[in-house]
Amino acid sequence: MSFNLIIILFASWLVSTASVDPAQSSSLGAPGCGPASIKFEVNTDPEQHAVPNPEPEKALVVFLQDDAQFNSTPRPTARFGVDGTWVGATHANSYFYVSVEPGEHHLCTSWQSRVVLTRHSRSIAAAHLTAQAGKTYYFRAQDRVITDFRGTAVSDPEVKLESLDSDEAAVLLRSFVLIRSHAKKRLTVNDNSDCATSTLVVVESTAHLANKITHN
151 and 91 in a common domain:
yes
Alpha-carbon gap, residue 116 to 208, rounded angstroms: 42
173 and 192 in a common domain:
no
Specify the pLDDT at position 99.
Answer: 97
Which residues sit opposite 109 in a β-bridge?
80, 125
Q: Is 42 exposed, middle or buried (0-12, 13-18, 19+ CB in 10 A)?
A: buried
165 and 76 in a common domain:
yes
In order of 3, 150, 163, 168, 192, the CA distances from 133 in angstroms are 62, 49, 17, 22, 43
DSSP 60-126: EEEEEEEEEEE-SSSPPEEEEEETTEEEEEEESSEEEEEEE-SEEEEEEEEESS-S-TTS--B-EEE
**Range of the structural domain that residue 204 is part of:** 1-20+186-216
pTM above the 0.85 mark?
A: no
Specify the pLDDT at position 195.
Answer: 41
Specify the pLDDT at position 201.
Answer: 38
Q: Mean per-residue pLDDT for 121-135? A: 94
39 and 122 in a common domain:
yes
62 and 76 in a common domain:
yes
Q: Is 124 exposed, middle or buried (0-12, 13-18, 19+ CB in 10 A)?
A: buried
- How confident is residue 47, by pLDDT bands cut at 50, 70 and 90? confident
Beta strands in 121-176 (DSSP E): 124-131, 136-145, 158-163
- How confident is residue 147, by pLDDT bands cut at 50, 70 and 90? confident
Buried b (16+ CB within 10 A) or exposed e, 5-28: eebeeebeebeeebeeebeeeebb
207 and 126 in a common domain:
no
In this structure, of 12-26, 72-86, 90-104, 169-183, the range with the lowest mean pLDDT score is 12-26
Q: Three-state DSSP class for 163?
A: strand
3 and 43 in a common domain:
no
* DSSP state letter for 30: S
177 and 110 in a common domain:
yes
Alpha-carbon gap, residue 197 to 28, rounded angstroms: 32
Please count the structural domains in the chain: 2
202 and 191 in a common domain:
yes
The tens digit of pLDDT for each residue in 73-110 reads 788 999 999 999 999 999 989 999 999 999 999 999 99
Sheet with strand 85-91: strands edge to edge = 85-91, 77-82, 103-111, 124-131
- pLDDT(199) > 70: no
Who has greater pLDDT, 85 or 27? 85
